[in-house]
Amino acid sequence: MHNELDRPLVGVTCGIRESSFGKWTMDAVILPSTYISAIERAGGIPVLIPPSDFSTSILDKVNAIVIAGGPDIAPSEYGEEPYFASASYYPKQDSSESVLIREALERDMPMLCVCRGMQLLSIIHGGKLHQHLDNTPGFEGHGSYDGQSSEHIVNTIDGSKISSLLGSQIIVNSTHHQGVSDAGSLIVTAHADHDGLIEAVERPDLKFCIGVQWHPERIGKNHDILYSELIKSARS
């Protein structure tokens, strides 16, 4: 059990989408509850950060942040034109989270970036994305998406933070149709075993800055250690 007064505040990004409340339909802040549960299990108190022009001000109040998964990032963020016709983009969320990540990096605030979060972290460091893996030679059929989930093996790099936490080979979930093609100046610390897709990135020069392509909060068990280590760094 964690002392309630000792629980760090963990900011977690979320989206705004049209949702139904009884007979009402309106824009609502949304986030899968698995993030909330993972942060609480790890000993933190989750604080939602919706897209806002003032999102960085929350960094004065929280001790760590989670950049959550979500919709596709607009290709204009990494200098490309969109070619995947069914994609929906949310420029305000892209902009708000980009500013938030940059400020958190400047402050060396502990940060875990999940799925879309890892992709945005890579873009901020000069990286690029595969817009649609099913149309990318070598990565067709990488995993399930569009409401489905599959599993595959990931190999981590010896000496990396992710390897020290989870081991040299792990099984992860796959719920994405995009992926990092170039991580920019980030250190790549894990690849998919079957096709080599980038699955984890790090900034070893910072206190705690890890991005993973999978969703550890949906796996639980030993993957909870990513959230536990985030909280540990927030306390230090």
- 115 is known as an active-site residue: yes
Q: Exposure string (b/e) for 176-215, b if CB count within 10 Å is 16 or more?
A: bbbbbbbbeebbbbbbbeebebbbbbbbeebebbbbbbbb
Q: Catalytic one among 14, 113, 115, 209?
A: 115
- 106 is known as an active-site residue: no
Q: Catalytic one among 125, 215, 223, 229?
A: 215
Q: Catalytic one among 152, 217, 223, 229?
A: 217
- 130 is known as an active-site residue: no
What amino acid positions are annotated as catalytic residues?
Answer: 115, 215, 217
